Amino acid sequence: MRRTCFVLTLAAMGVASAATLFAQNPSVPPAPQGRGGRGRGPVIVMALTSPAFVDGARIPDRNAQAGHDVSPSLSWIGAPDSTASFVLIVHDLDAAVGSGTDDMLQWMVWNIPGSTHSLPEGVPQGGQLADGSRQISGTGPYYRGPAAPASGPVHHYAFELYALDMMLDVPAVGAAPAATRAAVIAAMATHIRGKAVTVGFYKRAP
């Protein structure tokens, strides 16, 4: 799936503008303007926050590979009443993979129940969680923390949350991570009812 690269735009605008940029340009193709897909109303702008870092700030080592990949606590507000499930996509905007048309998937969690308003710190490994949520990253069924090396530039990590009006019939295992990511994105594309984004940056200490 082809993606547009926003790395130069981020560098020019500054980290503080990242959330605004990705609210307008999410990793999932948007529905037609003003519509949620299939004539079901507008896409609602939600708010996604973490006590670990604020939008545009550095992600702590605890939540990076240096801190043993502890996923940060996340919470959100403003989901529409029609929400049946949530999808969380965390990706490294500065780490192109494959032919350069995609980026590194740090974490994707889908079929988060629609009644959920947060994820705790340290979500356990495993393709399927106790509440029915499913997860994967570019390297396995778990959160993959930031790991940009000290010798290189800062990397920016987008945390994108989508509210859907359905659950997704995409299994947690059985396909390569890139194929699973593509399947989730394709399945949710016309069912997005709300979205939120926050962006943190990271590189290892010297």
Q: Which residue has the tokens 């590979």?
A: 65
- In the prediction, which pLDDT does 36 show? 45
Average pLDDT over residues 175-194: 94
pLDDT digits (tens, 9 = 90+) for 55-114: 999 999 999 998 889 999 999 999 999 999 999 999 999 987 765 568 999 999 999 999
203 and 148 Cβ atoms separated by less than 8 Å:
yes
What residue spans define the domains of the chain? 7-119+127-202
Which residues touch 31 (CB under 8 Å, ≥6 apart)? 37, 43, 189, 190, 192
Helices and strands, number each (H, E), in the chain: 3, 9
- In the prediction, which pLDDT does 28 show? 62
pLDDT digits (tens, 9 = 90+) for 113-139: 999 999 999 999 999 999 999 999 999
Q: How confident is the model at residue 172 (pLDDT cuts 50, 70, 90)?
A: confident
Fold of the domain built from segment(s) 7-119+127-202: Phosphatidylethanolamine-binding Protein (3.90.280)
Cα separation of the two ends of the chain: 35
pLDDT digits (tens, 9 = 90+) for 20-59: 444 444 566 544 433 444 446 789 999 999 999 999 999 9
Considering the chain, what is the average pLDDT of its residues?
84
| Degrees to nearest 5, angle at CA 118 with 171 and 108 | 30
Model pTM score: 0.83
